[in-house]
Amino acid sequence: MYKHFPNISTIRTLLFTNTTARQTILKNTFWLGVGTGINKLLALGLVIYAARILEPEGYGQFTFALAFASLLMIFSDLGLSSIVTREFAREKERKDELYSLISLKIVLAFATFLFILAASFFTVQTRDIQAVILLLAFFLLANSLIGVFYSFFHARQKMEYEAWFEALQVAMIFGFGLFVLSNFPSAKNLSYVYFFSAIVVLVLVFLFFHVKVFPLKLKWDFLVWKKYLKMSWPLALVSLFGILYSYTDSVMLGYWNMFAEAGWYNAAYKIVMASLVPVGFIGASFYPALSKFSKESKEKLQKAWDYELEIMIALAVPLVAGGMILASKIIYSFYPLEFGPSILAFQILISTAGLVFLHRPLYDALIVLDQEKKTFWIIMMGAALNVVLNAILIPRYTLYGAAIATVCTHALVLLAMMVFVKRFTFLQFPVLRIGLTLWASSLGVFLMYEVLRYLSWYPLNIFFLVAVGGATYFLVFFLLRKYVLLRYLKQTYA
């Protein structure tokens, strides 16, 4: 009677061994989902607690310092992470190249730290905020160096290793962060927590890779540096402009001494970013398979890409609708009453999350089909628009202007990526599949809205409301998908 239940050996094979392409994608999705979900949940919990303890002004200073350091982090990676994953997924025996890439990342990290140090003297007026910037810069640079190993794990489709180390780091930050905020509350002391967690995880990743994978050493092969930088420079520029429109708003708010507004804005923005967890692990799970199929079979690539696109649409629609409906309950469930201005900002920014869901498959398509130079022009246009809109809207509308600028930027990026995928790749948009998916999503959202509108009259916990709303949506969506959408597609293409 128990023969249908998987045994331990089957579970171990499913979660730790790469067998078929479908199983590998599911395995990677599971590990990235569990790891990223736990990480984002703990990180969001700490952020919310920090906002409560430090209040809008102090929290705004911390988020400004983090945004300032992040704005310059592009120089520590130069687009190498995605290229390493792509190239190592195609060919496995590249130890010497990895040694050279590690040495390159160390040089880039050191140069970036000096650049951030110099820039902080000309931008920041107080030494305390400068210290916060430098501590957070070291944290980000250490993570960037760790990233070359994560890229290798992605290429080998062993995402479970990354999930383990990221979970450890976030657990350390969460645990020690709560202790520091409870006993020694300040933005500077919280930054020390991030600093020391980065040191510990960096050492552990080095030791794990050295023992578990293969022995590490540094190799200074400038030809390898030149080879990878030549491939990665378009992505480096893409990342530069992407970082510009991700952090320009917070930096501008802080530059104009709107630290309270920066605190309100980032209180909403952090929750929106936490809602993007599925984008990261779903995209990372599909990316190695898409890279492999790009060299093996156009049909397999098209099929896998269609599936990724359908998943992203099915998640984007309820996220945006539910976020707008529950905005006030979400903000007041996590933050005190003085964060009321975050509600409207959240309702504006949640559209950004939906747009990010939609343009991730398009970005993946351009990268795996060696069209990374095209993405540069897209992100450059977005960055230019974002900077201009922020400069115009923030002085007049403060945090709401920053939110509008962010949404407009992502809308332009989505439209441009659609045009570029259509024009420069052989991939075809599954118009019928997209239309049916949107139809099923719309019906699911309508019923979700009716349920949430009824429940909103009662003082219910926000997590309960999200769970009920999500369950209602996915029940309707999957029923329609199973009995209508898939059958209609089979009949159409039979």
Q: How confident is the model at residue 285 (pLDDT cuts 50, 70, 90)?
A: confident
The whole-number pLDDT of residue 1 equals 42
**CA 376: distance to chain centroid?**
19
What is the pTM for the complete model shown?
Answer: 0.70
More confident residue, 216 or 402: 402
The whole-number pLDDT of residue 420 equals 93
Contact partners, residue 432, CB within 8 Å, separation at least 6: 489, 492
**pLDDT value at 11 more than 60:** no
User: Span 381-389, mean pLDDT?
Assistant: 88
User: Span 460-465, mean pLDDT?
Assistant: 89
**Residue 125: DSSP 8-state:** S
Cβ atoms of 362 and 372 closer than 8 Å: no
Count of alpha carbons within 13 angstroms of residue 395, beta-carbon side: 5
Cβ atoms of 116 and 132 closer than 8 Å: no
**pLDDT value at 23 more than 60:** no
The whole-number pLDDT of residue 35 equals 61
> What is the rounded CA–CA span in Å between residue 19 and residue 131?
48
**pLDDT value at 75 more than 80:** no
Average pLDDT over all residues of the chain: 82
The DSSP line for 69-104 is HHHTGGGGTTTHHHHHHHHHHH----HHHHHHHHHH
The whole-number pLDDT of residue 315 equals 94
Cβ atoms of 402 and 265 closer than 8 Å: yes
Q: How many other C-beta atoms are found inside a 10 Å radius of the C-beta of residue 91?
A: 9
> What is the rounded CA–CA span in Å between residue 134 and residue 240?
20
Q: Which tens digits make up the pLDDT trace of 396-418? A: 999 999 999 999 999 999 999 99
The whole-number pLDDT of residue 238 equals 67
Q: How confident is the model at residue 337 (pLDDT cuts 50, 70, 90)?
A: confident
Domain segments of the chain as ranges? 20-287+296-429
Q: How confident is the model at residue 214 (pLDDT cuts 50, 70, 90)?
A: confident
User: Span 340-354, mean pLDDT?
Assistant: 94
> What is the rounded CA–CA span in Å between residue 162 and residue 285?
12
Q: Which of 65-69, 250-254, 323-327 has the highest mean pLDDT?
A: 323-327
Q: Which tens digits make up the pLDDT trace of 93-107? A: 566 777 788 888 888
**pLDDT value at 225 more than 70:** yes
The whole-number pLDDT of residue 467 equals 92
Lowest mean pLDDT among 88-102, 128-142, 262-276, 289-303: 88-102
**pLDDT value at 341 more than 70:** yes
Q: How many other C-beta atoms are found inside a 10 Å radius of the C-beta of residue 274?
A: 18
More confident residue, 162 or 443: 443
The whole-number pLDDT of residue 3 equals 47
Provide the phi-psi class of 222: left if phi over 0, else alpha when psi is between -120 and 50, else beta: alpha
The whole-number pLDDT of residue 5 equals 45
More confident residue, 110 or 124: 110
The whole-number pLDDT of residue 89 equals 65
Q: How confident is the model at residue 92 (pLDDT cuts 50, 70, 90)?
A: low
